[in-house]
Each structure stands twice: as structure tokens, then as C-alpha cells.
Amino acid sequence: MKNLHFAYLMTIGFDAPVTKHSYSLKCCPLTNERQKVENLTVTVNGKEVRTTDTDVYGNILISGAIPEAHTSFEVIASGEVQTGLDICESYDSEIARSYIYKHFTAMTFPGEKLTDVFKKSDIKIIETPYDRALYLFRLTSGLIKYQKGVTDISTTAEQALSGGHGVCQDYAHIMLALCRMAGLPCRYVVGMMLGEGESHAWTEVLCRGVWYGFDPTNNKLVDDNYIKISCGRDYHDCTVNKGVFYGFANQHQSINVSVIERNE
């Protein structure tokens, strides 16, 4: 177990004033079997937010509006998380039934490349769901090389595999596609990781009635170095910020994450 302090900072700058800005945020970790969140504080443009909700996947959802004109939008979420309480997370069928995690999405639909990888794999001779997930996790880790700037948020698993390079989002989507081809319920996860300055993405697979985390980007099983923020069918269910506003402005978003261990 570890005691981790996190700070999640998202800043959006507008090149002209905007008004009537409505927003929906998913940037807060929640307590589950693997982690316990304490002293959670969230501010939006310097004002503390105290009211939260949850979406259909059980993620913490913060909604609000800024009516007055502004040229910047800053969200800060911080707190303490005790991690490594368990190696898995229970399956809550009341939040989302497993069959929705078996279906392909636009981001994970397999094309020729993914189909060829799956057909040439040894998945058919592997018996248990967990061992299948472990096999596909290791397979995914070696399918592409990590490289920033060659993919973006619209890149599908098939496109990333065809290009041979990508980032954590692409690794997660490729593993999701392969797991769904094998009939394994799986979901996309956004979170934070000790030692990284950015948000991170990985995959969870439902085996033995619980969710296990796999990080194909780093070829690691998810452990007490990870803080989970949100999950869904793919990246789009975990988008940190969705919003609308009045005004003609270009915007630039930046995200900075700090996760440090506190020894007590």
C-alpha cells in the first residue's frame, strides 16, 4: 500500500472572451476496493466546487457554468489516495452491465490489421479468462512503439496499429479491441501514475467476477502506483472536459499531473 498525494491541473486559454460557459468534468478519483480517497478538493476558476454527481459508469461528474466573460478556465483537483488496498475492483452490475463492455465501439472496431493479429495469436489454446487477458496484455505491449505526436484523440485502435506508434490511449484501445474479439468484457481507464507528469490510460478486464487492471503501455499490472479517475467503453466515455460557450475563440488546453508518495 502507498499514500499518494495528487494534484490535477487543467487549464484552457481562450484568445477572445467567452460567456455562458457550461462545463462537465471528470477529473476526480473515487473510492473503491483498490483505493481510498481523502481530503478531495476541487476548484474551478478559483471557486471551490462542493456538489458532485456520478455518470452511468460510476465516475464522479462535476457540472457547472460560468456566465460572465472570461479568457481562461482552470480546474484544480487535489487530495490524498491510499492505493494498493486490493489487486482488483468488484463488478457492480447496477452501474453498468458487463455486456456493454463486450461490444466494439468506433475507437475499438477491428479492421484488417487487428483481425490478422488476433488470428495469428495463441488465444484459442488459453483456457481461463484471466490468462487470456494476461496474454493479450503482453501481446499488446509489443505491437506498437511509444511515440508522442503521431496520433490524437480521434485515432482508432486499427489506425494506431497500422501506424506502428502511439501513446497510452492507443495501447489501451488496441488491448480493448483484442479483448472484445476474445469475448472478454473490458473497459478503458483514465488515471494518474506515480512518477508521471501527465494523465495516463490503461485497460481493465472482467475476470472471475472482478476487474483487473493492465497497463500495456508500460507492460505492467496495475498496482499501488496507479490512481484511477474514470472508466468507460473507450476514451470518449472518460473525456476530462466537455463544455459549450458563447463566443468566437480558439482554445488551447494543457494538463499537468503531480503524484508523489508521502511516507508517514
pLDDT at 94: 63
Q: Whole-angstrom Cα distance, residue 219 to residue 232? A: 21
How many angstroms separate the Cα of 105 from the Cα of each of 140, 171, 180, 211?
18, 15, 10, 20
pLDDT at 95: 66
Is residue 150 within 8 A of residue 156, CB to CB? The reply is no
pLDDT at 264: 61
Per residue of the chain (264 residues), what is the pLDDT tens digit? 999 999 999 999 999 999 999 999 999 999 999 999 999 999 999 999 877 799 989 999 999 999 999 999 999 999 999 999 999 998 877 666 778 999 999 999 999 999 999 999 999 999 999 999 999 999 999 999 999 999 999 999 999 999 999 999 999 999 999 999 999 999 999 999 998 788 999 999 999 889 999 999 999 999 999 999 999 999 999 999 998 999 999 999 999 999 999 876
CATH top-level class of 88-238: alpha beta
Q: Whole-angstrom Cα distance, residue 184 to residue 178? A: 9
Report pTM: 0.94
The three cell numbers of residue 102 are: 463486450
Residues whose CB is less than 8 angstroms from the CB of residue 78 and which lie 6 or more positions away in sequence, other chains included: 5, 6, 7, 8, 40, 41
pLDDT at 98: 77
Around Cβ 49, how many Cβ atoms within 10 Å?
16
The three cell numbers of residue 178 are: 483484442
Please list the residues that pair with 53 across neighbouring strands: 61
Is residue 191 within 8 A of residue 227, CB to CB? The reply is yes
Domain ranges of the chain: 2-84+241-261, 88-238
Q: Whole-angstrom Cα distance, residue 23 to residue 10? A: 13
Q: Do domains 2-84+241-261 and 88-238 have the same CATH topology?
A: no
Q: Nearest Cα to 169, choosing from 194, 186, 152?
A: 152
Burial 221-254 (b: 16+ CB within 10 A, else e): ebebbbbbbbbbbbbebbebbebebeeeeeeeee
Q: Nearest Cα to 171, choosing from 132, 212, 137?
A: 137
Residues whose CB is less than 8 angstroms from the CB of residue 90 and which lie 6 or more positions away in sequence, other chains included: 32, 33, 209, 210, 211
pLDDT at 6: 96
Q: Whole-angstrom Cα distance, residue 238 to residue 28? A: 11
Q: Nearest Cα to 170, choosing from 183, 180, 156, 181?
A: 156
**Element (H or E) spanning 113, and its range?**
helix 112-120
CATH code of the domain made up of 2-84+241-261: 2.60.40.2250
